């Protein structure tokens, strides 16, 4: 008398072991909320953190400024004019703060959304744009009109200041 194995001995195709999309969606939503909570708790002051889908043409349409080299050259031209790129990067780069590092990861994991981080002094918008993540302060009365970009999640480069 032969015994049958209680375990499947043939490998399952990859498609059969993937989680159902409903579970996957629930997991992504939960992970996004945890990430937003972690960002919120990096501040010592009151902060409001939310997300929304990208809807504006600026965020959705690919153009020449979606490329790292092009946004750096554009920022250099706008900010200081004709200096060597390495000098510009040295002068206008700064490290990301702890919350910005978390926001960078969030943006990479949520390329179709914008993260809004609002404190009493700043109103940040964080999102992927082509080859980089942009940290934008779009309102004059909430931190000035400034745009920073990063592609490594460690340092940001100021590319616009009005």
**What pLDDT, in 10s, does the model give residues 83-116?**
999 999 999 999 999 889 989 999 999 999 999 9
141 domain-assigned:
yes
**Whole-model pTM?**
0.74
From 88, 60, 94, 54, select the one nearest 74 (Cα to Cα).
88
Domain count, the chain: 1
74 domain-assigned:
yes
48 DSSP β-pair partners: 118
10 domain-assigned:
no
128 domain-assigned:
yes
78 domain-assigned:
yes
From 159, 162, 161, select the one nearest 85 (Cα to Cα).
159
132 DSSP β-pair partners: 129
Domain containing residue 91:
61-161
76 domain-assigned:
yes
Question: What confidence tens digit (pLDDT) does each residue in 1-46 have?
Answer: 455 444 444 444 443 444 444 445 455 555 666 666 677 666 667 7
107 domain-assigned:
yes
């Amino acid at each position: 008398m032969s015994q049958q194995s209680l375990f499947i001995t043939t490998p399952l195709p990859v498609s059969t072991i993937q989680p159902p999309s409903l579970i996957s969606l629930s997991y992504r939503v939960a992970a996004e909320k945890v990430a937003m909570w972690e960002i919120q708790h990096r501040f010592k002051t009151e902060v409001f953190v939310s997300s929304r889908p990208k809807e504006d043409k600026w965020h959705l349409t690919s153009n020449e400024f979606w490329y790292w080299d092009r946004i750096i050259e554009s920022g250099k031209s706008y900010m200081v004019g004709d200096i060597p790129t390495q000098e510009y990067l040295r002068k206008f780069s700064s490290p990301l703060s702890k919350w910005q590092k978390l926001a960078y990861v969030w943006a990479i994991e949520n390329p179709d959304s914008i993260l809004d981080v609002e404190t009493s002094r700043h109103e940040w918008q964080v999102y992927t744009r082509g080859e980089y993540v942009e940290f934008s302060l779009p309102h004059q009365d909430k931190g000035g009109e400034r745009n920073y970009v990063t592609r490594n999640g460690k340092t940001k480069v100021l590319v616009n200041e009005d």
